[in-house]
Amino acid sequence: MAEGLTTNRRRYFIQGVSCRIGREQLPVVNLSAGGLFASTANPPAPGEDLELELLLPEAPLKMHGTVRWINDGASTKDGRLPMGYGVELTDLDTPARNAILDFLRHADPIQGPPASW
């Protein structure tokens, strides 16, 4: 694990990163080289395949993912997260994976999700 990173199930709570899915740009709440959690009140269906662009400060990364779970507020998987959904990143090439890991090594992750979520 990179020094100074706070984890929850190997995912890092972060601020200042978003993802674009179609025309919609969503905040990314936590991130790992294997997936992310995007905050939205209108999640896609579990199992849906997505084309997305992860908007890291250094450069955007295009990738594919599959919606694995939904947090709709009623059937919450993790009560500390806002409404949204978890995405498994399914086709990361080595440069994209390394870019995410490098970002996480140098990021200043928050100490768990803010209370306002």
| Sequence letter at residue 75 | S
pTM: 0.80
pLDDT tens by residue, the chain, 117 residues: 343 334 444 557 787 899 999 899 999 988 999 999 999 999 999 999 999 999 998 899 999 999 999 988 766 555 667 889 999 999 899 999 999 999 888 876 665 545 444
DSSP 8-state assignment for residue 64: E
Whether residue 78 contacts residue 25, with contact meaning beta carbons closer than 8 Å, is answered with no
CB-count exposure of residue 62 (10 Å: 0-12, 13-18, 19+): exposed
Quickly tell me which residue has 């674009």 as its tokens: 20
7 and 1 Cβ atoms separated by less than 8 Å: yes
CATH topology of domain 15-105: Thrombin, subunit H (2.40.10)
